A and B are shown apart, each in its own frame.
Chain A
């Protein structure tokens, strides 16, 4: 579903992401792990076509992001780090707008919006103005806009940040449902390790712009804990490294 080959991103002299390659199969939930500033957000922005890579290619559901950007972007639902919300809009109008610009047919729109809102636990809030919602509900609206056009691939940048424990559990259940019952491919970034253990089958650990670990959760953990792996692999490499402080 997702094919990334030799992806690099350079900001001036700074190499924020260097030669990242991986593949994600349909229905997989992959956790993109890494310390702050490791290049997670930059990687995701290249996956979704927001940033053009300096080198390498991204292929989403068989569409190359450089050559067929429209088809590739249509196959993606994306929740950026800060949900891209218009505070003056009403919840249902906003989700319907995102459906419209993602080519959801007019006839099917109302139903799909209703479905996305229900799945994200936003029933009864359709008429609320987004600016008046709490942080947790805004995050859910962000998630609803990511899934409303039923994309094959979901890219979620820290989907549970700023939520309370109950909301975190709900969002995790939702992500698991999307992958298992609807066959969606999910790649989510986080630096919360228990989150990865709770929902991901596979771990990609990225640090200083490089992939350090790529494997199934159980293999990666081995006999120790994920925390041990993280502490062992996420540190700087002994050889001179110029990729720290990548913009988030």
Chain B
């Protein structure tokens, strides 16, 4: 496992040597800033109305966590849906297209080192995106007094959601040489996992509804965002990551046979 660092380091330098990374970060900052701004102004106008109508009894329903941070994180996760396919598309497809995979597979590396190195690099970028997202709640802590632990749980939820989605994206990237198809398929896979929750709510009932909802990313993400850290949500993300990263390993191994 001692080569993981070298592979992750190269991967990161590669990500930041193309414009894609900078476009991604800029797009993320614009959209997330706008989302935060909208949540915050919505919150302020609600407070003004409470003051105007003298309904101070409603005040306890409003706080910075549920009215600003939670909806913002929800929108951030939607932006992730667009950005993570761009981040993962090249990870394995590019090495197959340019033939550099032959260098990796004939070097004294294990397949786990290759796969984990690349996945680690992607996790670092997702960590940076989540770090940037943390700036908005940080502003609220400076000017107001939201609760710290639910905020941290929400940011962790965003990171885990990104990590799980990226694992899926890596598997799709490892199955093709074409970066564009990897990005598109990853995007649609993410869409399905994001929206499956609504489909289940609309068209299913009882146990089948619960099973299908459990499969989607949304439910588990929402739990964490609302500040509830439960073992089953953490297990869900862990299982998704382990399952898909093992899939990447198997797909990379199979390149020798294809």
Contacts and interface: CB of A to CB of B under 8 A. Distances in A.
A97 B10 CA distance: 7
A116 B52 CA distance: 77
Interface string B165-209: 000000000000000000000000000000000000000000000
A101 B106 contact: no
Interface stretch (A69-77, A209-217, A219-227): A69-77
Given A85-B100, A93-B13, A78 B6 contact: no
A27 interface: no
Given A76-B106, A86-B14, A101 B3 contact: yes
Interface centre among B6, B10, B107 (most CB of A within 10 A): B107
Nearest to A70: B108
B93 interface: no
A78 B17 contact: no
Interface string B118-150: 000000000000000000000000000000000
Interface in B1-41: 3, 6-7, 10, 13-14, 17-18
Contacts of A103: 108
Interface centre among B10, B17, B257 (most CB of A within 10 A): B10
A136 interface: no
A86 B99 CA distance: 10
B98 interface: yes
Contacts of A51: 256
Contacts of A76: 106
Interface string A76-88: 1010101011111
A98 B6 CA distance: 9
Contacts of B256: 50-52
A89 interface: yes
B6 A100 contact: yes
Given A78-B106, A98-B107, A101-B109, A84 B257 contact: no
A56 interface: no
Given A97-B6, A101-B7, A84 B109 contact: no
Nearest to B110: A70
A71 B18 CA distance: 35
Interface string A23-48: 00000000000000000000001001
Contacts of A48: 106
A101 B108 contact: yes
A45 B102 CA distance: 9
B108 A80 contact: no
A102 interface: yes
Contact of B98 (A50, A84, A98, A101): A84
A73 B106 CA distance: 6
B108 A84 contact: no
A101 B107 contact: yes
B219 interface: no
Contact of A50 (B6, B102, B110): B102
A38 to B, nearest CB: 20
Contacts of B13: 89, 93
Nearest to A78: B106
Nearest to A100: B6
Contact of B107 (A80, A93, A102): A102
B105 interface: yes
Nearest to A69: B108
A185 interface: no
Nearest to B10: A97
A139 interface: no
Contacts of A80: 99, 102-103
Nearest to A99: B6
Contact of A98 (B14, B103, B110): B103
A84 B3 CA distance: 18
A6 interface: no
Contacts of A88: 14, 17-18
Given A50-B256, A86-B14, A102-B107, 5 more contacts: A71-B108, A73-B106, A78-B106, A88-B14, A101-B104
Interface of A: 45, 48-52, 70-71, 73-74, 76, 78, 80, 82, 84-89, 93, 97-98, 100-103, 145
